[in-house]
Each structure stands twice: as structure tokens, then as C-alpha cells.
């Protein structure tokens, strides 16, 4: 289990303080798919980065199986929106990068990359370079690279945000298929209500800055989910209603900040 306890985060500069997160408490169960949803600037990505160990908190803590997160660890892998692939490396070399850094022998690395590229449907592109791939294909490589190091937790920061609607839909299906195979615990940041409902076991809705947890919505419908069903439509209306209040608050804060700035 990943446990967030009384978590705070404040960014400080010479000119101002920005309270990004305040009093976050959350338990995420093993094998669960949890989405973080909220208005822009509410601290979703900040929370994910603290969980990844990429930045520290101002107060409180995150624990994984009782151990406090103090930095990156092998049990966690992060997938970002911008793919972060090395353009001078082939697809298979990108997938193997983390394994090579850990000293895994070449033959074992190649077996792992071959297996994962088959899982994500890119076995025919192993010797290609990132510039040969579409956006969706690049993100599949990013997911394969994250899985290669056998993490228990897959932390995903708007991984499909830059994709067109059709590709995004395909990637959602791919992610669910991969999740069912490997059963990782997934924490998924998104701005899209439909995406959160379609993918998640639970949706954590956050308030406008400073980010707090406003509601946690269980999505108990079996997969694959029909987004036009009465049950899913009801969940959509519930989530949209809660989120709309926070989007309005975020817009009001932004307007006030602009007025204050002159």
C-alpha cells in the first residue's frame, strides 16, 4: 500500500510563496488504478512527483509499505507526457536503458525488451529510432521502458495529454490491457473526466490551489466500460458537478492574482 499522510507542499521564491498542496491524506491499494483529477494548478503533478521521489514535501510524508519516500526508488517508474525518449537510441535500446543502468547483462536486457515490445505491439519497430514513430507509438515505448525495470508502482503524468482524440482512445485501451497483464498499481494524472472514469477504480478529485482532496469517487462498473450506459453517465454527472465548482474557484483565484499584479 502507498499511504499519503498530512502532506503539504509550498514553493518559495524571493518574491512569493505558493501553497501547492495542503493536508493530503490518501491510501492507494496494491494493484489499484487511481486517477488524480482537478483544475489546472491544483497540485496533481506535484503530488505525483513527491510520490516518485523527484521533489520533497514541505510537511507530512508518503510511505510505501511502511518505508518513507525520500527519493526515487526501483519500485516506482514514471511516465511523462513528453515521452522523454533518447533520440539517438533505437526503440529497443530506449526500453533497455534502465536495465543497462542497473547492470543487467545484454542478453537478459534484449529478452526483456523483446517481450515488452511484443506486449505493446511494437516488435517490428525494435531497430527504429523515435523520429520514425507516431506520438502514440512513442508513448508505448515510454510505457515499455517503465515496465522493463519491473516497478510495483506506475506513476503517469498526463501521458496521453498531447495525443489526438482517436490516438488517445487507442492508448487508453492499450494501457488497460497492459495493466491487466502486469497488474501494477497505477497513479494517473489527467484533466479529462471521461478518461478518469473510463480507466480508474477510484477518482481522487482535488480542489483549486492549494490542492486538497475534495472527493474520492469509486467506479465499480466492470471493464470494458460503456460510457453511454446510465450508470457511467451518472458517474460523469457526479464528477463533473464536483469538479465544476473547483474550476470556477480556480478561475476566480487567477483573476484575483491578475488584478493584484496590476
Residue 123 pLDDT: 94
What the block records as the C-alpha cell of 123 is 516488435
Higher pLDDT among residues 239 and 255, named by residue: 239
Mean pLDDT of the chain: 92
User: Grid coordinates representing 236?
Assistant: 460523469
Beta-ladder partners of 154: 77, 186
- Taking only the tens place, the pLDDT of each residue in 82-117 is 878 999 999 999 999 999 988 999 999 999 999 999
Q: What is the pTM of this model?
A: 0.92
pLDDT at 45: 94
% of residues, the chain, pLDDT over 90: 74
Pairing mode, if any, of strands 67-68 and 76-79? unpaired
| pLDDT tens digit sequence for 150-160 | 999 999 999 99
The grid coordinates of residue 30 equal 496494491
Which residue in 104, 77, 37 sits closest to 250, CA to CA?
Answer: 37
User: Which of these, 3, 9, 1, 2, lies nearest to 212 by C-alpha position?
Assistant: 9
The three cell numbers locating residue 214: 475534495
Place of cell 495529454: 161
Architecture of domain 2-75+184-261: 3-Layer(aba) Sandwich (3.40)
Averaged pLDDT for residues 40-58? 94
Cis before 125 (ω within 30): no
All three cell numbers of 84, joined, read 522523454
Bridge partners, 187 (sequence order): 34, 155
Kindly list the domain boundaries of the chain, sorted by start residue: 2-75+184-261
> In angstroms, rounded to a whole number, what is the distance separating the alpha carbons of residues 136 and 221?
27
Tell me if 33 sits within 8 A of 201, measured CB to CB. Answer: yes
For residue 22, the 8-state DSSP code is E
Question: Which of 197-201, 217-221, 234-238, 254-258 bottoms out in mean pLDDT, i.e. has the lowest?
Answer: 254-258
Share above pLDDT 70 across residues of the chain, in percent, rounded to a whole number:
97
For 187-200, b/e burial (b = at least 16 CB within 10 A) is bbbbebbbbbbbbb
Distance CA 228, CA 195 (A): 13
Amino acid at each position: 500500500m502507498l499511504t499519503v499522510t498530512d502532506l503539504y507542499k509550498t514553493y518559495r521564491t524571493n518574491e512569493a510563496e505558493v501553497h501547492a498542496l495542503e493536508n493530503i491524506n490518501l491510501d492507494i491499494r496494491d494493484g489499484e488504478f487511481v486517477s488524480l483529477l482537478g483544475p489546472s494548478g491544483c497540485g496533481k503533478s506535484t503530488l505525483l512527483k513527491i510520490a516518485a521521489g523527484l521533489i520533497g514535501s514541505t510537511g507530512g510524508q508518503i510511505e510505501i509499505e511502511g518505508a518513507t519516500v525520500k527519493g526515487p526508488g526501483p519500485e516506482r517508474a514514471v511516465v511523462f507526457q513528453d515521452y522523454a525518449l533518447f533520440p539517438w537510441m533505437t526503440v529497443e535500446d530506449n526500453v533497455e536503458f534502465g536495465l543497462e543502468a542497473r547492470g543487467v547483462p545484454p542478453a537478459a536486457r534484449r529478452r526483456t525488451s523483446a517481450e515488452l515490445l511484443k506486449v505493446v505491439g511494437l516488435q517490428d519497430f525494435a531497430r527504429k529510432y523515435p523520429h520514425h514513430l507516431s506520438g502514440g507509438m512513442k508513448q508505448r515505448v515510454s510505457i515499455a521502458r517503465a515496465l522493463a525495470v519491473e516497478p510495483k508502482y506506475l506513476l503517469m503524468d498526463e501521458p496521453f495529454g498531447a495525443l489526438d482524440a482517436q490516438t488517445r482512445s487507442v492508448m487508453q485501451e492499450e494501457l488497460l490491457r497492459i495493466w491487466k497483464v502486469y497488474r501494477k498499481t497505477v497513479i494517473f494524472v489527467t484533466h479529462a473526466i471521461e478518461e478518469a472514469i473510463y480507466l480508474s477504480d477510484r477518482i481522487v478529485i482535488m480542489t483549486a490551489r492549494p490542492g486538497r482532496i475534495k472527493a474520492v469517487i469509486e467506479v465499480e462498473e466492470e471493464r470494458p466500460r460503456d460510457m453511454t450506459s446510465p450508470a457511467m453517465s451518472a458517474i460523469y454527472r457526479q464528477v463533473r458537478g464536483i469538479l465544476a465548482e473547483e474550476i470556477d474557484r480556480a478561475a476566480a483565484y487567477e483573476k484575483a492574482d491578475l488584478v493584484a499584479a496590476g
